[in-house]
Amino acid sequence: MAQNEEHTENINKDNVVNPCDEVDKEKQETSSESNLEEQNNALRNCEEKMKDMKEQLKEKESEAFDLKMENIKLKEKLRQEREIYERETKRRILKEKIDIFKEFLEVLDNIERALLSIENDNNEQTKGIRLIHEQLMKFLSSYGIKEIDVLNKPYDPNIAEIGEAVETNEVLPNTVVKVLRRGYFIGDDVLRTAIVSVAVPLKEKKEESN
């Protein structure tokens, strides 16, 4: 009898639910839900931060591209300004050289006229003038100055001026038959144009006279 009572008591103990266990279970469930929500919030925050970072990265890339384009434009502008400066400097230097050498050409013209007037003389004075002429020609040549070859060639207004027209049918019209004043190049540029006599047909000249 006593054994039955003890068995019954043990069964009753096993079937009794501890209220504290229920509370712990609820806490665990609540805690799990809370952690899940926190994780979801953290994930959303991370996604938002990633989105913001991507937007900032795009803005920085756009700024970098704009700066790169500005740098390219600035370099191109500097290149053009440098070319303009160099071109203007060369033009100014060339102009100054032309002005100086033109004065030498005036001296050369005077010496050559003097030589023509004493062409057949062979005294010491004539030799001295010829020597000066040779030295002056060498000096001009050292700076790239050379005579323009126009004689017996078609007249070119870029390198010569017409001083007179000569009636003749011995050469083609518009041919340079005489050089009245020598012209010169300085490098590839015209230092001084030549002054020339140009051939015109005899019949054309007569028709103009009539």
Q: Would you call 112 exposed, middle or buried from its count of C-beta atoms within 10 A (0-12, 13-18, 19+)?
A: middle
Q: Are strands 145-147 and 184-186 parallel, antiparallel or unpaired?
A: antiparallel
Q: Which residues pair with 190 in a beta bridge?
A: 185
Superfamily grouping for domain 147-210: Head domain of nucleotide exchange factor GrpE (2.30.22.10)
Give 64-121 pLDDT, tens digit per residue: 888 889 899 999 999 999 999 999 998 888 888 888 999 999 999 999 888 888 877 7
Predicted TM-score (pTM) of this structure: 0.57
Alpha helices in the chain, H assignment, sequence order: 2-15, 19-117, 124-141, 202-209
Q: Which residue has the tokens 């010496």?
A: 111
Q: For 166-207, what is each residue's pLDDT tens digit?
A: 999 999 999 999 999 999 999 888 999 999 999 999 864 445
Domain extents in the chain: 96-143, 147-210
Give dist(CA 38, CA 27) in Å, integer.
16
